[in-house]
Amino acid sequence: MIPEGSASATPAASRATAAPAPSDTAPPLSSMSDASPPARSHRLVRERRPSLGRYALALAVLMVALVAVALGVDAPERYLAATVLALLADAFSAAALIVGIVALVRRRCVVAATFGVVIAVLGNPLVLLHGLGALA
């Protein structure tokens, strides 16, 4: 038995000698919020992602230019050149349509992509041929 007057008999004395290990203590919450990763710059993200909508619009404008040149060249003696330019315009139209749809799905430069898709469809030589043929 432990005598009543001894130091080890009091529970406070036994608790004071047992200090918690340093690894058991958790850091305060305020220091944990300071360790957040740095935010990425908006400019760096924009430079790595090209705007597909602008590419679609540029392809559609080039397609319209090819159609205009093909119509200007269209003469009996230059039939092959006009046909090649019209086929190139078809290829540019398909490319502008595909790139524009991808830009719309990915929501990158939506306004330019919309204009690119509309110009690519309406300015396509085959669509123009059928549309103007229906009017006659």
**Does residue 102 belong to any structural domain of this protein?**
yes
**Does residue 113 belong to any structural domain of this protein?**
yes
State pTM to two decimals. Answer: 0.60
Q: Which of 32, 33, 54 is nearest to 102 (CA)?
A: 54
Average model confidence (pLDDT) across the chain: 78
**Does residue 13 belong to any structural domain of this protein?**
no
**Does residue 9 belong to any structural domain of this protein?**
no
Is pLDDT above 80 for 91?
A: yes
Q: Which residues contact 38 (CB under 8 A, 6 or more apart)?
A: none
Other C-beta atoms closer than 10 Å to the C-beta of 118 total 14
Number of domains, the chain: 1
**Does residue 100 belong to any structural domain of this protein?**
yes
The CA distance from 62 to 133, in Å, is 24
**Does residue 96 belong to any structural domain of this protein?**
yes
Is pLDDT above 60 for 72?
A: yes
Domain hosting 91: range is 50-135
Is residue 109 classed exposed, middle or buried when 0-12, 13-18 and 19+ CB atoms within 10 A define those classes? buried
pLDDT (tens digit per residue) in 15-42: 556 555 655 666 555 555 555 565 655 5
